[in-house]
Structure formats: structure tokens, C-alpha cells
Amino acid sequence: MNPPLRIIACAALLLTSPGAVAAQHITLKTVPIPLGEQFQLLPSRNLGMASVRVAIDDPLLDPFTNPARGAAVDELRIYALPTMYSETNGTLGGRSFPIATVIPGRTVFGSFAFAMQQVDNPNRWGWVPWQGDQSVFQENSSSNIYAQGSIGARLGRSTSIGASYYHADLDAVDAVNLLYGRSIAIDQDGSVGEARVGLKHDLGGDRSFDAIVLRSDVDMTHDVLYQEWNWVDGEPLVRSWNELNEDRTITWGAHLRYTQPLGHEGTRIGFIATGATKAHPKIPNYNVVNIPRDPGNSAAFNFGVGLSRIVKATAYSMELIFEPGRSHTWAYADTALTTPGGVIQPGEKTVDNQFRYGNWNLAAGIQHETARAGFQLGIRMHQTRYSLEQQNFLADTVRNTDERWIEWSPSWGGVLKFGDFDLRYTGRFTAKGSPDNVIFGGRVDVLMADAPRSGVDFVVGPTGPVSMPEFRVTMHRLMVSVPFGG
């Protein structure tokens, strides 16, 4: 693996709100990192339609992303969702088994979801020689556990409210190993907790309004093992050392959504607006750069519009979202450092990064579903575009750069209905590169998959060009839905 070259700026891994990318979740990425499908854990009807959400409801996912939406559920169902994903070069992969349910009620309602997951630990040696007679054994996979619960209530015929809490106990997060390029083993440990409050209000005339407020807290540690081999007088000399990195992010966010009919019967228009502020009390020291990582902060927004049309058994939907934002990261010296511009004293900045984002997200999907069977097709394209002004006080340089790339995610799915249960399959892959190269076996520049359950952000300020290998992640998911009566 070729890691990002000479990463000297601060980097933050942000696990933010549950929800689809087009709805409550804003992802910030400044380097092309594969993120996999680790957080694809909740039931969704629109996943095969490129997860369109702005102008069309997702009756399976909505009660989990907005706990007030559970008021619309009138039948108890249990969802089992075995999921697997892998990358063509083996850089990441995993298997999940979530179970979820929404509990209906006339006045009070709720939901619950639980998942166990195995995440692969690629590119790591099983047995690692240590200094002296010690050794370290690295497992080939790690396990994660996720749980979420919610409760809501109706306030009259038009309004419902709800609150939920989500917790993840994490032993591994995809793509973290790629930012510690010279390491031979990484032991991750930590958790993510999120609380949110949701409101759903019917305005009359088939118009609806949603509002969500949330707080997310990420607390991770990365115990990274490095090793150097040298030959001295014909004998191997091994030097091993550990670096303990903390990753802490606190996010406050709010999301608004409004939909109404438009023109012909069955046609709707929708609008969304989302804002999030992210504080980074502690940022990891990626890629063996001995600069202490200190606080940073980010602000991200999205503004989107969508159209949908439902004609008998067929539904169409498309949406366009603009995602502006900014990030500010920096680092301080803990000892006196001599540089071309003079001496940096302890407590003075060693690097300062200012990011400005202007991303675009375009998606379209189609669904045809009868009482017996159905299919879905969709595609999502996301352009990442940002400018970086970097002051490197160690090298006494100022660097300005503009970066952009496009990710594309085709998706597909089908459903069979057997009366006593429904069986739904969904697949997709996400890649950066030309569709011809992917389909006909050519090379793909880089992949970056969206993470709808808990968004994963990497805010990295490289001091030079970033070189990543070519790869692609593919996901397959089955969903069995069993009714248990109204």
C-alpha cells in the first residue's frame, strides 16, 4: 500500500450522525480514502435507488433517522439484514448481522436496532517480532457492536416527536490503517455515542415538515506499532516502538426537510437544509509525523432539492445537493524546533491549515414494485472539491492547492414477497474512476464509499501530491422482513 505522501497536517476521523448521505449526514474528505460499508446497518427501502431521500420517503429507514417518524408505522415487523462487503485488493472488508424493529402504538411508539460485526484487519502480520524475546500476535479481524433505541409520541393528529440514542462499541474502523502507512499493527478501541430529538409535522394539503437536532461524541484510541529492521555486522537489529493516538470529535447538528405536491398527481418536490459544527479536541498523529496533533474545528452544510413521481407501481426520484463547508486544523510544538525561518518555541504553531469545501451530490433512482415482486436501480455521483491554504512553519512555506475528484456509486436491488415475509436484496459498489474502466476490468483510480449509518470523515492536509492504490468496494445485503401483526 502507498499511503498519502508526507501528511503533515492534522487529520480527524469524524463519526457523525446516522442517516443517509442525502439527508442528515455531511461527509468531509480531503484525501481519497476507501471507507467501505461498515455503517450500513439499518433497514432501507431506497438503498437500491441510490438512497434518494429528499423528495421521497423511505418508510423503513425514516423511523430510525427521525424518531418522530415512527408514528407512521402501523404494523410490527422484524428486520434481519445480513451484509457483507469487500475491496478488490483486500484493503478492507467485513460482515454484519443487524436486527431491527419498529414498535407501533396509538400514542407512544418506539424502535430498536442491534448489530454485531466482524471487520477485517488487512495488511497486518499475524506474528510480529518485538525487541528482546517478546512478540505481538495480531488477529485477522476485529468485532464491533452497535445498538440504538428510540421512543416517540403523537401530539394530536398532525404532530409527533421522538428521541433516540445510538451507541457503538468499536474495535476497528475501516481505512484508519491506510493513514498509518509505515505501521505493521494497529489496535483500535473506543466508542461513538449519539443522542437526537426529532419532530414530524403535517401542514395539511399533503405537505410535511421534519426537524432533527443531534449531538455525537466520538472517543477512539489508536495504539500503533512501528518497526525498523537494520543489519549491523551481519546481524539483524530490530527497533520497535508504539505510538498512542487519541481521536476525539464532538458534533452538534440540525436538519430540516420540507416536501409538498407539485403539479401532476403523484409528483412531489422536496427541500433539505443541514448544518453541523464539529470540534476536534484531539486529532491523531497519522503517518509517523512527530508533530503533536492539537485541536481543530469544522463547519459543514448542505442545501438540496429533489423531485419524485409515483405512478401506480413505479417510483422515480432525483436530487441535487450542494455541500459547502470549512475546516481549520493546526498543531503546536512541544519542544524548541530550529527551522529555516527561525526557532519555533514550545506552544507555537508548527502548521496551520484552512480548508474551504464546495461539494456537489447528484443522485437518481427508479423502483417498480408490485404485490409480488419488484426491482430497483440507481446511481449517485459525488464531486469533492476543496481549496487548502497551508502554512508550514517547520519548512517556512505557504502552500495553496485546489483538489477535486468524482465518486460514483451504481446500486441495484430486488424484492420477492411471500405473504408471510419479504426477501429483499441490494448491491452496490462505489469507485472513483471512469465507468468503462470499472465495468470492463480496467484500473480504477481510487474508491470512496459513502457511510450512511455513521459518516466517516477524513480532514487531512497533505504537503504534497497524494498517491493511493486503485481499488473498488462492493456490498451485498439481504433483508428479511417478517410481520408480527398490527
More confident residue, 470 or 271: 271
pLDDT computed for residue 63 by the predictor = 96
| Per-residue model confidence as pLDDT tens digits over 109-151 | 999 999 999 998 765 444 455 444 444 545 678 899 999 999 9
Which among 109, 98, 72 has a CA at the least distance from the CA of 481? 98
Domain count, the chain: 1
CA atoms within 13 A on the CB side of 418: 9
Q: What is the mean pLDDT of residues 367-394?
A: 92
CA atoms of 484 and 98, how far apart (whole Å)? 18
Cell of 240: 520497535
Q: What 3 state SS string does the chain have?
A: CCCCCCECCCCCEEECCCCCCCCCCCCCECCCCCCCCCCCCCCCCCHHHCCCCCCCCCCCCHHHHCHHHHHHCCCCEEEECCEEEEECCCCCEEEEEEEEEEECCCCEEEEEEEEEEEEECCCCCCEEECCCCCEEECCCEEEEEEEEEEEEEEECCCEEEEEEEEEEEECCCCCHHHHCCCEEEEEEEEEEEEEEEEEEEEEECCEEEEEEEEEEEEEEEEEEEEEEEEEECCEEEEEEEEEEEEEEEEEEEEEEEEEEECCCCCEEEEEEEEEEEEEEEECCCHHHCCCCCCCEEEEEEEEEEEEEEEECCEEEEEEEEEEEEEEEEEEECCCCEEECCEEECCCCEEEEEEEEEEEEEEEEEEEEECCCEEEEEEEEEEEEEEEEEEEECCCCEEEEEEEEEEEEEEEEEEEEECCCCEEEEEEEEEEECCHHHHHCCCCCCECCCCCCCCCEEECCCECCCCCCCCCCEEEEEEEEEEECCC
Would the pLDDT of 27 be above 70? no
What's the pLDDT tens digit per position in 345-363?
888 888 888 889 999 999 9
pLDDT level of residue 390 (50, 70, 90 thresholds): confident
Beta-ladder partners of 34: none
Is 5 domain-assigned? no
Which residue, 384, 283, 401, 400, is CA-closest to 331? 283
We report the CATH number of the domain holding residue 370 as 2.40.160.40
- Which has more confidence, 159 or 1? 159
Q: What is the pLDDT, as a whole number, of residue 331?
A: 81
Parallel/antiparallel/unpaired status of strands 159-170 and 183-204: antiparallel
pLDDT value at residue 228: 81
Over the stretch 193-212, which tens digit does the pLDDT of each residue have?
Answer: 999 999 999 999 999 999 99
* Interval 296-352: pLDDT, tens: 888 999 999 999 999 999 999 999 999 999 988 888 888 888 888 888 888 888 888
Mean pLDDT of 29-43: 79
Give the per-residue pLDDT at 91.
Answer: 77
Measured CA angle at 403 (ends 304, 5), to 5 deg: 130
Q: Indicate the pTM of the whole model.
A: 0.83
Integer CA distances (angstroms), 381 to 320, 360, 406, 435, 484, in order = 10, 8, 7, 11, 38
What are the tens digits of pLDDT across the range 231-245? 877 777 888 888 888
Cβ-in-10-Å burial (0-12, 13-18, 19+) of 137 comes to exposed
Lowest mean pLDDT among 27-31, 219-223, 351-355, 365-369: 27-31
Residue 108 lies in a domain: yes
| 442, pLDDT greater than 70 | no
Range of the domain at 220: 13-483
> Among candidates 324, 314, 328, which has minimal Cα distance to 366?
314
389 lies in a domain? yes
Is residue 294 within 8 Å of 331, Cβ to Cβ?
yes
Nearest to 352 by CA among 390, 409, 317, 312: 390
> Per-residue pLDDT averaged across 413-421, rounded?
93
Q: Which residues pair with 411 in a beta bridge?
A: 378, 428
Residue 274 pairs in a beta bridge with 255, 302
Residue 1 forms part of a structural domain: no
Q: Of residues 412 and 17, which shows the higher confidence score? A: 412
Q: Are 457 and 13 in contact, with CB atoms under 8 Å apart? A: yes
Give mean pLDDT, residues 154-183.
89
- Cα distances (angstroms) measured from residue 376 to each of 48, 108, 451, 454: 5, 33, 20, 24
Residue 359 falls within a domain, yes or no?
yes
CB 478 within 8 A of CB 96: no
Find the mean pLDDT for residues 73-91.
90
The residue with greater pLDDT, 17 or 53, is 53
pLDDT band at residue 373, thresholds of 50, 70 and 90?
very high
The more confident residue out of 368 and 429 is 368
Residues 68, 228: Cα–Cα separation, whole Å: 55
| Residue 95 contacts residue 86 (beta carbons within 8 Å) | no
Gap between the Cα atoms of 53 and 47, Å rounded = 10
- Give the CA dihedral 83, 254, 250, 323, nearest 10 degrees: 70
pLDDT band at 29 (very low <50, low <70, confident <90, very high): low
Greater confidence (97 vs 17) lies with: 97
CA–CA gap between residue 393 and residue 399 (Å, rounded): 11
Looking at residue 281, its pLDDT comes to 80
Contact of 108 with 152, CB cutoff 8 Å: yes
For residue 100, give the C-alpha cell. Answer: 431491527
Are 385 and 404 in contact by the 8 Å Cβ rule? The answer is yes
Residue 144's pLDDT is what?
96
| Cβ-proximal residues to 55 (8 Å cutoff; 6+ apart), any chain | 259, 268, 269, 270, 305, 306, 307, 308, 317, 319
Burial (CB count within 10 angstroms: exposed 0-12, middle 13-18, buried 19+), residue 70: buried
Q: Is residue 354 part of a domain?
A: yes
How big is the chain, counted in residues? 486
Higher pLDDT, residue 163 or 397: 163
